Chain A
Amino acid sequence: MPSLDLFLQPEIFLVWTSVLKTSVILGIVLTMVAYSVWAERKVSAFIQDRVGPNRVGWAGLIQPVADGVKLLLKENFVPAGVNKLYFSLAPSLAMIPAILVLAVLPFGSSLFNVPMVIADLNVGVLWVFAVSSLGVYGIVLAGWSSNSKYPFLGGIRSSSQMISYELALGLSVIPVFMITGTLNLGEIVRYQVENGWMVFPVWFTSPPEAASTTIGFLETIKFSVGMSTEKMLLWIPMMISFVVFMIAMFAETNRVPFDLPEAEQELVGGYHTEYSSMRFALFFLGEYAAMIAGAGVIVTLFLGGWSLPFVPDGSHGWFWGLFNIGTFFAKVAAIIFFFLWVRWTLPRFRFDQLMKLGWYVFFEVALANIFITAGILAYLKS
């Protein structure tokens, strides 16, 4: 069949698989965004001994649809005195970077020998940092173009927040690259499959001579468990990295305790005070998409990405390929739950406190951590 051959030509194959992967991932992530809003309301309610949404559908599960319809049908109001161009540009600027980050995240091993990552870039993490920090422009522009006090303060706070955490965010992951020797997120995950997760240095590998048996359609292989003093030694700087990166990620995604730009109690919603309808929804979705992307980066860098002990990768059958994708999103969901849990536990920092924390504590810790890692690596090599 000539038409099928055309689809299997390398370039065309790449194009249509990429388009397929992109649309599927967008679908999954936007669904997750909708349901993390639901989860936020539910978790907050449970923590505060309330019931949460329970009217629309069972346990309020159709609530996101109702919210979406409501936001779509609302009047898209533009207040007088706003800068119209930037006012309408800002919501997309807040949403797009969060979505773009997903491009480099390896959300699964492989399915039918197609690697489950949209763009397998060698600059991986640099792309994540470069793009995700653009999200601040959306917030600053929204705050400024609204021509109103509270959004303006929110925008100012957002920029002050960015110069507080970005440094720690970037420096805290350098030890990971020093250990893995690559910036490519897919290879970082591969490293963690073979050498144990960054925060859990016990690895489960299948020796090459291991016999694989087939039960039904499932191919199972034997695993051997590994552990070593060297990896345990490297575990110390990795935990420091993990904690600093996690905290910086809270600031990056504007989550409590660092949700200064929106601070609903002091700033009436912050940068999106003047927004309504779908423009507001875009900010809202962008925030949660950034949360999912941030959780995805944490999972990829420190929690072993799609890998799970005793689970083979996608080269052992499509079932395991799908299982890996499920594992990745389950881990992302767990991190998001942690984000929600922290939100309803901790009070908000003041922006000078955040700056102090970023520059006096996390900057130093992250910097010292690089040298500790370098020292350990040099010691292990000699």
Chain B
Amino acid sequence: MATVVQRPKLSLLERSYFPALLGGLWITIKHFFKMMAGRTHVTMQYPEQRWDSAMPEWYRGAPTLVKDEHNRERCVACQLCEFICPPRAITIKPGELPGDSVWVKVEKYPEKFDIDMIRCIYCGLCEEVCPEQAIFLRKDYSITGLTRAEMVHDKAKLYELGGVMDGLVHKWNEKK
């Protein structure tokens, strides 16, 4: 059965549109003066105000490399992250640790470690796959640059962002 939509019966005044017009003007001017009086909650003024303090623990920002409290670079250049990275943003060139190094039994270290931040999709698979707890997604979200080259984070930049992280598993220490 067809639904019959009842047309509302409008009075002459309502049909002249004037009450609706004035009502609309009243609503907009109310918003105007609320804003003037500063009683309107407005959007955050981004570059000055940031979400940083309200960021959740599990936030996945830019991937970074970390060192531990012995100042050892934790990456052993196993290249698992390079292989799992879905957009192939990571490029690692493994190198051999010199014989006089304290950590010589680790054998390998990354000679070059580049993450192309134009490619990175912040998925966190590199962090998940890393057997050495060397790569972590930290809370940096504003990754910008003026050139493509600037957007490629090299090893120095990655350690600068990652810094030192305490409380990680030490599987390369002596007597362990």
User: A residues within 8 Å of B by Cβ?
Assistant: 43, 45-51, 54, 341-342, 344-346
Contact = CB atoms under 8 A, between A and B. Distances in A.
A95 B32 CA distance: 31
A49 B24 contact: no
A46 B43 contact: no
A46 B31 contact: yes
B: interface residue count bin: 10 to 19
B24 A345 contact: yes
Given A49-B40, A50-B43, A345 B25 contact: yes
B interface SS class: helix
Given A49-B42, A51-B42, A341-B28, A346 B36 contact: no
A223 B98 CA distance: 102
B35 interface: yes
Nearest to B18: A243
B46 to A, nearest CB: 11
B2 interface: no
Given A49-B42, A50-B43, A341-B32, 19 more contacts: A43-B32, A45-B35, A46-B31, A46-B32, A46-B35, A46-B36, A47-B28, A47-B31, A47-B32, A48-B31, A49-B34, A49-B40, A50-B42, A51-B45, A54-B45, A341-B28, A345-B25, A345-B28, A346-B24
Nearest to A48: B31
Counting from the closest, the 8 A-B pairs by CB-CB distance are A46-B35, A345-B28, A345-B24, A47-B28, A46-B32, A49-B40, A47-B32, A47-B31
Contacts of A47: 28-29, 31-32, 35
A46 B21 CA distance: 19
A206 B28 CA distance: 41
A341 B29 contact: yes
B25 A49 contact: no
